Amino acid sequence: MLKLESVTKAYGQLRALKEVSLQVDAGEWLSVMGPSGSGKTTLMNLVGCLDTPTSGKVLLDGYDLGTATGRELTRIRRETVGLIFQRFHLIPHLNAVENIMVAQYYHSLPDEREALAALERVGLAERAKHLPHQLSGGEQQRVCVARALINYPKLVLADEPTGNLDEDNEQRVLDFFGQLHAEGTTLIVVTHDPKVAALGERLIVLDHGRIA
Partner 1 sequence: MARKSPAARKLFRHMLLASLLRRRSRALIAALAVTVGATTLTALASISLDLDAQLSRQLRSYGANLVVTAENGRLSAADVPSFAAALNGAEVAGESSYRYEIAQVRQQGLPVVAIDPQTVFSVRPYWSVLGELPEGNQVLVGRDIAEAMQLSPGATMTLTAMDSPADPAPQSPAPSTAAPVPANEARVQVVGTLSTGGAEDGQLVITQALAAELFGDPGAIDLVEFSVVAGTEDLTVIAERTQAAVGGSQAEPVKRLASAEAKVQNTLNSMLAVVSIVVLALTAITVATTMLALVAERQTEIALKKALGATNGDVRREFLTEGLLLGIIGGLVGTLAGVGLAALVSFQVFGRELTISWPLLPASVLGSVLVAVAAGYPPVRRAASVSPAIVLRGE
51 touching partner 1, by CB under 8 A? yes
Which 1-40 positions form the footprint of partner 1 (CB under 8 A)?
none
Q: Quick one: 27 or 102, whose CB is closer to partner 1?
A: 102
With CA atoms as reference, report the closest residue to 145 among 186, 176, 112: 176
105 touching partner 1, by CB under 8 A? yes
Compute the C-alpha angle 206/208/212, nearest 5°: 40
Cβ contact 55:20 at 8 Å:
no
Which 106-145 positions form the footprint of partner 1 (CB under 8 A)?
106-112
Q: What is the number of other CB atoms lying within 10 angstroms of the CB of residue 187? A: 24
For the CB of residue 178, give the shortest distance to partner 1 in the complex, in Å.
23
Q: Quick one: 87 or 178, whose CB is closer to partner 1?
A: 87
Binding residue count for partner 1, defined by CB under 8 A = 37
Q: Which helix (H) or strand (E) holds 14?
A: strand 14-24
Sheet hosting strand 210-211, strand order edge to edge: 81-84, 155-159, 186-190, 29-33, 202-207, 210-211
Dihedral sign from CA coordinates of 32, 2, 5, 72? negative
93 touching partner 1, by CB under 8 A? yes
For the CB of residue 106, give the shortest distance to partner 1 in the complex, in Å.
4
For the CB of residue 119, give the shortest distance to partner 1 in the complex, in Å.
16
Spatial distance between the Cα atoms of 118 and 58, rounded to a whole number of angstroms: 31
For the CB of residue 94, give the shortest distance to partner 1 in the complex, in Å.
6
Q: Quick one: 27 or 50, whose CB is closer to partner 1?
A: 50
87 touching partner 1, by CB under 8 A? yes
Q: Which stretch binds partner 1 (CB under 8 A): 15-23, 89-97, 172-180, 191-199?
A: 89-97
Cα maximum dimension of the chain: 51
Spatial distance between the Cα atoms of 208 and 18, rounded to a whole number of angstroms: 8
Applying CB under 8 A, the residues found at the interface with partner 1 are 41, 44-45, 48, 50-51, 70-71, 74-75, 77-79, 83, 85-87, 89, 91-94, 98, 101-103, 105-112, 147, 159-160
